[in-house]
Amino acid sequence: MILFDRFVLPNELKVLVNTDMSTPLVSMVVLYDVGAKDEDEEHTGFAHLFEHLMFGGSVNIANFDEALQLAGGSNNAYTTNDLTCYYCTLPAVNIETAFWLESDRMLSLAFTPKSLEVQRSVVIEEFKEHYLNAPYGDLYHLVHALNYKVHPYRWPTIGKNVEQIERATMEDVRSFFAAHYYPANAILVLSGGITTEQVQQLCDKWFAPIPSPAKLQRSLPIEPRRTEYVREVVERDVPSSLLYMSFQMPGRRSKDYVIYDMLTDILSLGRGGRLNAELVRKQGLFSSVDASVDGTIETGLVSISGMVMEDVTLEEAEEGVWKELGRLSRISEEELRRIQNLYETDALYQELRSSRRAELLAEYELYGDANAVNRRVQERAEVTTQMLEACAATTFTRENCRSLHYRAK
């Protein structure tokens, strides 16, 4: 269980504190409610570009990393379709350094042409290295475009193309910051050797003075329900053919999300997962295969992907997957207990690290209820085989499927 206190500053910054005086370290997470879904279609990749710009210096601090490292800290960040998360860990005696740094860049970045050019170059090189010049580099661009037609999930976090990042201007950057980076649109979490009283004092000093507009209310298009099976076939110069099948599912805030997550555990968790046992070890259709949920807040995807063996066609591999999905009409109590026990062990392990506790609290607060982090094991314990079988029957249908055949030349 993750025990925590919660309070909200007058500028609407939400603050959560998990005290653990057994550690001399403190982890801080600042999560902003902004991701790739908040971008304009002609300016994609901005949320990720901003993740980089946030390390390029703020109004009073020229070098974020250097100041944090002098205090004995380490840090990083990540961007998804739904959020942007900045996190650091440092000795508790130096925690005020993190408050100083994070509050200053929430107040205002050092918007300079040099900073924009440096970070833009970094992002463009990342785009080229991982998406343009790497085997399977365009996979997720294809998957997003195939599965979404109206919702902004239809492009990946890195952006639609390099050209849009190249065209980013100082005016674009300033506008994006003003629209999304302010206290009411953020969640601050501290976990480790610090008390709530200390956090309140430091928040009053560093974060409370930052002005904040009212939180932006989104109006995103709703992805329509699917009515027909769609297959896309591409051919690339890659080592092995790859199959990627995706099915529409509710978003992360749905009460049924846990059922979909557990279905992927039945299919692919560990060596006991059905897909690995049947399609890899027994039939030899795939060299590797996996099932996953993407965990997006809006309408999401439950997907099955795998590398197909050289002497197997993509059509044969897909048919093998369909047969395994059909077998989800019967799930044993033993299988259910296996994935429940494995999840409980993993949940307990995650709670040992202050950095992960902080991330979990921030994520669940964004989902709508930080207290739900302590119900996640019990929620899975209450799921029955009948609930899993019913969900599989309505989800893994032909009309709900988008199938990408990524064929090796």
Mean pLDDT of the chain: 96
N-terminal to C-terminal alpha carbon distance within the chain: 51
Q: What is the pLDDT of residue 182?
A: 97
Same-domain pairing of 36 and 150: yes
Same-domain pairing of 188 and 308: no
Please give the Cα distance from 240 to 270 (Å, whole number). Answer: 23
Q: What is the pLDDT of residue 195?
A: 98
Domain endpoint, select from 174, 206, 238: 206
Same-domain pairing of 92 and 197: yes
Please give the Cα distance from 161 to 146 (Å, whole number). Answer: 16
Same-domain pairing of 157 and 264: no
Q: What's the total number of domains in the chain?
A: 2
Same-domain pairing of 269 and 395: yes
Same-domain pairing of 34 and 178: yes
| Other beta carbons within 10 Å of 408 | 16
Does residue 88 sit within a domain?
A: yes
Average pLDDT over residues 273-283: 96
Average pLDDT over residues 64-91: 96
Does residue 224 sit within a domain?
A: no
Q: Pick from 404, 392, 400, 394: which is nearest to 229 by CA? A: 400
Does residue 308 sit within a domain?
A: yes
Retrieve residue 125's tokens: 């090189």
Torsion of CA 257, 258, 259, 261, to 10 degrees: 90
Same-domain pairing of 334 and 370: yes
Retrieve residue 46's tokens: 């901005």
Full domain range(s) for residue 124:
5-206
Quickly list DSSP for 201-253. Answer: HHHHHHTTTS--PPPPPP-PPPPPPP-S-EEEEEEES-SS-EEEEEEEE--TT
Provide the 8-state DSSP code for 129: I
Q: What is the pLDDT of residue 276?
A: 96
What CATH number does the domain containing 25 carry? 3.30.830.10
DSSP-derived 3-state class of residue 317? helix
Q: What is the pLDDT of residue 173?
A: 87
pTM (2 decimals)? 0.95
Please give the Cα distance from 73 to 375 (Å, whole number). Answer: 32
**In the predicted model, is pLDDT for residue 59 greater than 90?**
no
Average pLDDT over residues 114-124: 92
- Interhelix angle 333-350/257-268, rounded to 10 degrees, is 110
160-183: buried (b, 16+ CB within 10 Å) or exposed (e) per residue? bebebbeebeeebbeebbeebbbb
Does residue 340 sit within a domain?
A: yes
Domain endpoint, select from 170, 191, 206: 206
Please give the Cα distance from 210 to 229 (Å, whole number). Answer: 50
Quickly list DSSP for 265-314. Answer: HHHHSSTTSHHIIIIIIIS--EEEEEEEE---SSSEEEEEEEEEPTTS-H
Residue 246 CA to its chain's centroid (Å): 17
What are the pLDDT digits (tens) for 131-177?
999 999 999 999 999 999 999 999 999 999 999 999 999 899 889 99
What are the pLDDT digits (tens) for 341-392?
999 999 999 999 999 999 999 999 999 999 999 999 999 999 999 999 999 9
Retrieve residue 341's tokens: 């026990």
Same-domain pairing of 198 and 239: no
For the chain, percent of residues with pLDDT exceeding 70: 100
Tally of residues, the chain: 409
Average pLDDT over residues 185-201: 98
Torsion of CA 295, 297, 301, 305, to 10 degrees: -30
Cβ atoms of 219 and 37 within 8 Å: the answer is no
Please give the Cα distance from 154 to 121 (Å, whole number). Answer: 24
Same-domain pairing of 183 and 102: yes
Does residue 218 sit within a domain?
A: no
Q: What is the pLDDT of residue 111?
A: 80
Same-domain pairing of 68 and 199: yes
Write the single-letter amino acid at 346: D
Retrieve residue 195's tokens: 């008390």
Same-domain pairing of 152 and 245: no
